[in-house]
Amino acid sequence: MRRMYAGGLALLLALPLTAAAQDTVSQKEHLTTVQNLRETKTRLFLLQTELSNAHLQQTILPLRRHMNQHRHLLLGSGIVANPKLGKIPIGEGGEGKPPFVTFYPVSEARAVSLPDVGVCEIQGVVRLSVGAYRSEKNTCKPGSYLMALKTDANGMVSLSLLDADVDANGQIHYREALQMLAERVQRTNNKMALAFPGLQEVSPQHPAWQVQFDLPGKEQHVRAYLNLNIVML
């Protein structure tokens, strides 16, 4: 009887220890899973960054064919803008970084004839960390695009983001990825400007996620607007 009692007592004493050990193992597994998810997220962010850089370089290569020795893309003079107002959920733009727009201007804008597009002025390259839109049917994905300015016979201006692609025969094809709202305005300054609206500038027509481009030129100053496809709290 004593042996049975002693054995039963030992079993009862062992049960809490076993449960505690299982809890410890469960906690370790949870911490390991969380760490693995963090490492995976970091690797994905780095891969997305590499892919974005590769797309930028791919966009630049066709552009060089239309430039002469006196004109080039000013990568070192890129202008970056982020939304100034509102809270953005972590994850938009990758790894908790806010969405951004970068504009790389050309040293001199001149009229060129592009296949599938026609005569236009290449203003530079626009790099988007998230998608952009003008309407539900007029949207583009994250990536790098040529910014092209066209002026019709009546003096009306239009600004587009062009996607460049090279086929198997090495021929370059251009496609309008997004048409931007653009207008001619009085000359305000002689420098390219890129900014999101501040507190006093936000309105239903110009929401906090809309970026404004100011493109000075010899004969006209063009202002354009681009809506980023982001969520703001």
What's the pLDDT tens digit per position in 151-185? Answer: 888 878 899 999 988 788 877 888 999 999 898 88
Q: Which residues pair with 136 in a beta bridge?
A: none
Name residue 139's amino acid: T
| Banded model confidence at residue 108, pLDDT cuts 50, 70, 90 | confident
* Comparison of pLDDT for 121 and 30, the residue scoring more: 121
Residues forming beta bridges with residue 104, ordered by sequence position = 125
* Distance from the Cα of residue 68 to its chain's centroid: 29
Give Cβ neighbours of residue 20 (< 8 Å, ≥ 6 apart).
Answer: none
| DSSP E strand stretches across the chain | 79-81, 101-105, 111-114, 118-128, 132-133, 139-140, 143-151, 157-166, 172-185, 193-195, 210-215, 221-228
Per the prediction, the chain carries an average pLDDT of: 78
Residue with tokens 């290449």: 122
* Residues 223/215, Cβ–Cβ less than 8 Å: yes
Confidence of residue 226 (pLDDT cuts 50, 70, 90): very high
For the cut 60, the answer to whether the pLDDT of residue 45 exceeds it is no
pTM summary value: 0.74
For 23-33, write each residue's pLDDT tens digit.
666 877 777 77
Beta strands in 42-99 (DSSP E): 79-81
Report the C-alpha gap between 87 and 110 in whole angstroms.
40
Tell me: the pLDDT tens digits for 133-147?
Answer: 998 889 999 999 999
User: For the chain, what percent of residues have pLDDT higher than 70?
Assistant: 70
